[in-house]
Every structure is written in structure tokens, then in C-alpha cells.
């Protein structure tokens, strides 16, 4: 009897490997890999709703490669932290589709603010029904729902600006807690010279990559992969990122962290 049971189990495994259907048994399949040529990524970059100014920046920002690196898939829920005018927020909204959602996460306005954040106009235009704007104290997030991914492009260094007096550890714990188990945190920022003091965040608007890794890992994240797509070896990393000769061409690191699944 023992040999009969073993033989049946082996036959089932061999049948599955050969592609044969096994009645009553569901075989789990990993989702297909995402790359820059994935249909939802290509469609998002080619989306006719994108402003011409955004499209013109694509050659420098490589949005298809960045979204693929982030593992963006239709139906996900993603937060775009510090969305500015919505360059990535628009792309994510298109790539995520009707079943997904993208949240543009901004700081609450200062008491003397006279203008609303520009991302509100994008979200309220009626073009993106899956886009929301939420004002969050970065040190104590309260997102409406758990997130599949958090996207932070070129503003992580701002968390270190003296005028904000942020608790960096509290921010990173909030990011960790806002994600679903297994969720991704993607950080893009302007690279500082290795070993630079954190003060360069205020003077040059850059940050040392190793510092970011240490801070994020301390919250429980695991560094999973680094992309080289935004690297520029000709950038000395010694200039302010707004200087005319380097603006838009800075050396940038792209890191993907993962919240452990259990």
C-alpha cells in the first residue's frame, strides 16, 4: 500500500511537470515578470493624457524602466510621495488601471500657504478616476488602505532638511507600517559623494546612498536590488542639483527595498 501511494504521488507530480491537467488540483503560478516592454507599462508611457512637458522629460527619467523596476502591476495600490506636478502619479495611474489606485501623498500645507499643491489639479481634472490626494504627517502615516508599494522620487533627502525637524526613524517606521507584507519601497535620489555628511541634503539637495540604506534598513526593510538606469558618472556630485550645467542630469541612485512577507 505504501508503494502504491508513493507511486500515485509521483505520477501526479510528473503529470504536472508534463503540462497535463490534474482534476481537483490547483497549481499556483507566479505572476509574469514585469519589464519595460510589458503592455501596461508601454501603454502608460504612451498615454495621450500626459502633458508634453512630461513626455519631454522621459529621455532623462526612463519611466518605463523605473516602473518595471518597481514591479508596478495593474490593480495595485501605490503611494507616490511628494508627487510635485504628477509626473509619476499620472504614469502610475495609467499603469495601475481601473482596479488599482495611486495616492499622491503630500505634506499638510503650511499655515501661510496661499496655493494648493499642484497635484490636486491633476487629481481633480477628471482624467484619472483612480487617483487620490492625501495629506500626511510623514512621521505618522494614516493611509486609507494598505499599500503594495511606496514610491519616493528625489525627495527622501528633504526629510533631512533642518527646517522640517523630522524624526527620520519615525518616518521610515511609518513607511514600513503602511505597506502590506511583501510590499516594496522604491527610493530615487540625487547621489552625494560617498561618506558625505547629512548636511549636504540642505546645501546640495543630495544624500549619501549608504546613509539611506542604513536608515531604511533600521526600520525593518531589506534592500533587494539597485538599478543603474539613472546613473551619470560625469556628475561630480559636488554641485547643487539646480545648477544649470547639471540640472536634470545628476547621478541618481534607484533602490528597491522590501518589507518582509512574514
pLDDT at 31: 64
The pLDDT of residue 35 is 95
The percent of residues in the chain predicted with pLDDT above 90, rounded, is 81
User: pLDDT by residue (tens digit) across 130-152?
Assistant: 999 999 988 888 899 999 999 99
**Tens digit of pLDDT for each residue in 161-216?**
999 999 999 999 999 999 999 999 999 999 999 999 999 999 999 999 999 999 99
Question: Of residues 228 and 7, which shows the higher confidence score?
Answer: 228
> What pLDDT is attached to residue 111?
74
Residue 34 has pLDDT above 70, yes or no: yes
Q: What's the confidence (pLDDT) of residue 9?
A: 43
Name residue 135's beta-bridge partners. Answer: 106
Helical H segments across 99-162, by residue range: 119-123
Asked if CATH classification 3.30.160.60 holds for the domain at 31-258, the reply, yes or no, is: no
Length of the chain: 262
Q: How far apart are CA 171 and CA 47, in angstroms?
A: 33
Q: What is the mean pLDDT of residues 48-58?
A: 97
Q: Phi/psi of residue 226, each to 5°? A: -125, 135
Sheet holding 222-227, edge to edge: 131-135, 101-106, 77-81, 147-153, 179-190, 252-258, 222-227
**Residue 43 neighbours by CB under 8 Å, 6+ apart:** 94, 95
Amino acid at each position: 500500500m505504501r508503494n502504491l501511494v508513493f507511486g500515485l504521488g509521483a505520477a501526479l507530480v510528473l503529470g504536472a511537470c508534463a503540462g497535463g491537467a490534474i482534476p481537483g488540483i490547483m497549481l499556483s503560478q507566479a505572476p509574469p515578470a514585469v519589464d519595460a516592454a510589458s503592455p501596461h507599462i508601454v501603454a502608460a508611457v504612451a498615454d495621450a493624457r500626459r502633458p508634453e512637458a512630461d513626455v519631454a522629460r522621459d529621455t532623462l527619467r526612463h519611466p518605463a524602466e523605473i516602473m518595471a523596476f518597481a514591479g508596478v502591476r495593474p490593480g495595485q495600490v501605490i503611494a507616490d510621495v511628494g508627487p510635485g506636478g504628477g509626473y509619476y502619479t499620472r504614469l502610475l495611474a495609467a499603469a495601475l488601471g481601473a482596479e488599482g489606485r495611486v495616492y499622491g501623498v503630500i505634506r499638510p500645507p503650511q499655515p501661510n500657504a496661499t496655493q494648493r499643491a499642484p497635484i490636486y489639479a491633476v487629481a481633480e481634472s477628471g482624467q484619472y478616476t483612480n487617483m487620490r490626494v492625501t495629506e500626511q504627517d510623514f512621521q505618522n502615516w494614516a493611509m486609507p488602505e494598505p499599500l503594495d508599494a511606496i514610491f519616493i522620487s528625489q525627495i527622501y533627502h528633504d526629510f533631512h532638511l533642518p527646517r522640517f525637524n523630522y524624526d527620520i526613524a519615525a518616518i521610515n517606521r511609518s513607511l514600513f507600517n503602511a505597506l502590506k507584507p511583501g510590499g516594496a519601497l522604491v527610493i530615487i535620489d540625487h547621489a552625494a559623494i560617498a561618506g558625505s555628511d547629512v548636511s549636504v541634503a540642505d546645501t546640495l539637495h543630495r544624500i549619501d546612498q549608504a546613509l539611506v540604506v542604513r536608515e531604511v534598513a533600521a526600520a525593518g526593510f531589506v534592500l533587494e536590488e539597485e538599478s543603474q538606469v539613472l546613473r551619470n558618472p560625469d556628475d561630480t556630485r559636488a554641485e547643487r542639483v539646480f545648477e544649470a550645467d547639471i540640472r536634470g542630469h545628476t547621478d541618481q541612485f534607484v533602490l528597491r527595498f522590501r518589507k518582509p512577507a512574514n
